[in-house]
Structure 1
Amino acid sequence: MKVLDTLHRWTGGLIGLVLAMLGGTGLLLIHEDLWNRLPHAGDAQVQETRLLAETTQRIMADPVRRPQSILFASADFGLNRLTYGGGAGAYVTQSGEPVIAWSDRWQRPEIWLFDLHKKLLADDLGETVIGIAGLCGVFFVVSGVVLWWRTRKTFEWRLWPARMTRPAIVRHHRDLGIVVAPLLLLSFVTGSVLVFRPLSVVLFGPGAPREISKALVSPPAPDVHLGENLDWGAMVRQARARFPGAELRMLSLPRKNSGVITLRLRGPQEWLPNGRTTVWFAADTGRMIGARDAGELPRAARGYNVLYPLHAAKVGGLPFRLVMSISGLALTLLGTFAGWAFWFKRPKPKRR
């Protein structure tokens, strides 16, 4: 038990502030619609096929100003987001009128906050560090429950330590942690599996990683370049005809010369904000070359698609957002106080 306690304290001291950052940024991102106030952000979502096709054609027709992707307005946010190279982007109305533009991610807090939360602003390396931090979080929850059991008779509910002394902070850390342990475990497990897909074997059984990767792979990409005069509106109409009940979510140009234009939709049964229902088009002609209905994916792939909505509180409405807000706030407090108590409130060695 002493070894477990030492390992819990030292690991918490080393990575506690990273977890606190994850809790704080996650809390802000959950309630992005409350602070990301822009003109027309409260507009009602438009999903009429004709208007979507006309707007898409207007945005994508000019090769000079053509974005790499369009994230269409949602029920919670009434603007289309355009993404360009080098972190540049813009918000436009659902009819294509410009609202605001930026030249790098630092000019938009919702963008760099998301990148900080997901990748520590360090791309793939940062994402790996975040995944490791999530696994450490799972260890903290499990070991914390075991260590709390010895002192369960002294439990006392407090949101804030009674005093800013090390014993009071340790007691607050222990008791608050046991209260929010299920929520923290949900956040850590879903976040870790999203980063390290092989861990999905724990949730969905043997063979799950391979089944998920196979189910989500794109069709074979033709070796072609992007055409000059494509009918972008026709792609929207074809996608809506293929999946008439689905919500149009994102249009993306070919990546790494893949030769495929991707149009993602969200089916009525999907929790994932941008959906996994997908239609692919040849980049040179705009011809449909494949389609995938997320409702027909294997069980493991459907389960994997549920992880992000649970992690980011994109399902369940306001009640679940408030529940996950408690998780983010508690993680911020636990990580901050753990790091502070470990590095600045450690007992001084006694003189002999």
Structure 2
Amino acid sequence: MTAGATGGRRPPRPRPGGLWRWHLWAGLAALLVLLASAISGGVLVYQKELIRLTVTPHATLPPDYSHGAIASQLQQLEFQRGAGSPISLKAPNPGEPYWTVRHGHALELLELATLDTYQDNLGILALLTLLREFHVDLLTGRWGQSLLLLCGILALFLTVSGLLLWWPGRRAFRWRWVIPRNYTASRSLQYHRHAGALVSPLLLLAFLTGSVMLWQKLVAPLLPPVATEIRQIAAMPAGVPGIARDYRAAQAAVPDGWPTYIRTYQEQDSTYTKVRFRLPGEWHLNGRTSVVVNSDTGELVISERSDQSSNARRLVNQLYPLHSGYGMPGGYRALMLVTSLALAWLAYTGGSHYYTRWRHRRNRRHSSAA
């Protein structure tokens, strides 16, 4: 039949059945996990700001806050919690001007001046902590991480296959289909296709960085272990006990770094203190340079400095900032929020389209049976 015989309109182009079906079933398989990840991830983009507004509204980092003050407060914290007790801390910084103490999955925030616990709106802090744990492992540990990795791989396939399905009709792209004024379920596929095509670069970035991080954790690292240097401290700093002494030794090994995570642990009948540092100008606000101090022998294991790493390792080190937006410029973080909202919208419109088709099929079967 010619175009003239159909009133000048071309017959609809058939969908590529195989790819379209794979896209459909992959979307249904990952739908709930992707929707939950989108919602939780969108909130977590601004979790630090939410904490500052609700829990620590008046917290500031004193201009003269120094390594000496950190060591002194570490000594106080160790005394409060009992010498020899494992401790996991995040040190204050300009963006988070308070001590963060981790107890399992719970967080405790401490004022700098008094080391007292912040008491306001702790329910919001607990909710944000829960959302983070849910986003990282679905509250089920390794099983949840494995499911997230699987769904991340499916999401990469969905993004690429969706672009391939949209490409033949790309000239029909219209902005009004991206965010419709009046939602109509029957047009959910149009909303899904146009919005997906528009945000596909952001989705690819989010899915790829998240999947690679999980792959490294669950399957195999992309790069060999970080090179380390072992040093022996001839004389540990006198007059400073425990974790504060270890911190002074670690800080001396990375004099231009600012501490991020500080924790103590026991292994093979020895006690260790691990300090992670952020170097000047480093993208990753948590830093990627660490020092492990053997509290019993004074031996230091110093990792390769992140500013001296290969380009490949530097790229791998930026996976977390690129995925979460943590420490990135405001514009980039806004794009990450848009990505989360778009993913939730795509999950909803894709699910709505499938449900509409299923309902129509069921109604036709019932009509035929009658």
Q: Does the alignment reach a TM-score above 0.5?
A: yes
* Other-structure match for 2:260: 249
Amino acid in structure 1 at the alignment position of 2:103: Y
Residue 274 of structure 2 is aligned with which of 255, 262, 267? 262
After superposition, give the CA deviation of every residue in 1:132-189 in whole Å (9 maximum; x if it has no partner).
Answer: 1111111111001100012223211244346544441110000000100000000000
Does 1:330 find its partner at 2:346? no
Q: Return the alpha-carbon distance in structure 2 between the equivalents of residues 250 and 95 of structure 1.
A: 20
Question: Cα gap change, 1:109/1:45 in structure 2, threshold over 3 Å: closer, same or farther?
Answer: farther
1:77 aligns with 2:90: no
- Answering whether residue 206 of structure 2 is matched by residue 193 of structure 1, we say no
Q: Which runs of 4+ in 1 moved over 6 A?
A: 104-107, 198-201, 216-220
Q: Among residues 332, 341, 347, which one is paired with 2:353 in the alignment? A: 341
2 CA distance for matches of 1:32 and 1:196?
25
1:33 matched to 2:44? The reply is no
Report the Cα distance in structure 1 between the residues aligned to 2:95 and 2:169, rounded to whole angstroms. Answer: 45
Structure 2 counterpart of 1:262, one-letter code: K
In structure 2, the residue corresponding to 1:302 is in which secondary structure? Answer: helix
How much does 1:326 deviate?
Answer: 1.0
Q: 1:334 to 1:282 in 2, by over 3 A?
A: same
Is 1:115 the counterpart of 2:133? The answer is yes
SS in 1 for 2:265: coil
Q: CA deviation at 1:337?
A: 2.4
- How many angstroms does 1:60 deviate by? 1.4
Residues 124, 43 of structure 1: CA spacing in aligned structure 2 closer, same or farther, 3 A cutoff?
same
Matched residue, 2:315: 303
Partner secondary structure for residue 284 of structure 2: coil
Aligned residue pairs, count: 333
Q: Give TM-score, length-normalised by structure 2.
A: 0.80
Partner of 2:61 in structure 1?
A: 44
How far the C-alpha of 1:95 sits from its partner, in A, is: 3.8
User: Cα deviations across residues 301-351 of structure 1 (Å, max 9, x unaligned)?
Assistant: 222111101111124321111111111110111112222332355342234
Cα distance in 1 for partners of 2:17, 2:200 equals: 21
Q: Is the 8 A contact 1:30 1:321 kept in 2?
A: yes
CA shift, 1:249, in A, is: 0.7
Deviation (angstroms), 1:49 = 1.2
For 1:9, the equivalent position in structure 2 comes to 24
Q: What are the equivalent positions in structure 2 for 1:283-302 lying under 5 Å apart?
A: 283-284=295-296, 287-292=298-303, 293-302=305-314
Paired position in structure 1 for 2:189: 170
Q: Does the CA contact (< 8 Å) of 1:90 and 1:101 recur in 2?
A: no
Alpha carbons of 1:280 and 1:7: their partners in 2 closer, same or farther (altered >3 Å)?
Answer: same
What TM-score do the two structures reach when normalised by structure 1? Answer: 0.84
How far did residue 276 of structure 1 move?
Answer: 1.4
Distance 2:200 2:88 in 1: 39
Give the aligned partner of residue 56 of structure 1.
74
Change (3 A) 1:111 1:55: same
Q: Is the 8 A contact 2:191 2:349 kept in 1?
A: no
Which amino acid counterpart does residue 50 of structure 2 have in structure 1?
W
Partners of 1:193 and 1:30 lie apart in 2 by 19
Structure 2 equivalent of residue 280 of structure 1: 292
SS in 2 for 1:151: helix
Task: Tell me the equivalent position of 2:164.
Answer: 146
CA contact 1:41–1:79 (8 Å) conserved in 2:
no
1:184 is the counterpart of 2:203: yes
Q: Which residue of 1 aligns with 2:33?
A: 18
Match of 2:226 in 1: 215
State the alpha-carbon separation in 2 of the partners of residues 108 and 198 from structure 1: 26
Q: Confirm or deny: 8 A CA contact 2:228 2:302 kept in the other structure.
A: no
Gap runs ≥5 in structure 2? 1-15, 232-239
**Residue aligning to 1:204:** none
1:231 deviates by: 3.1
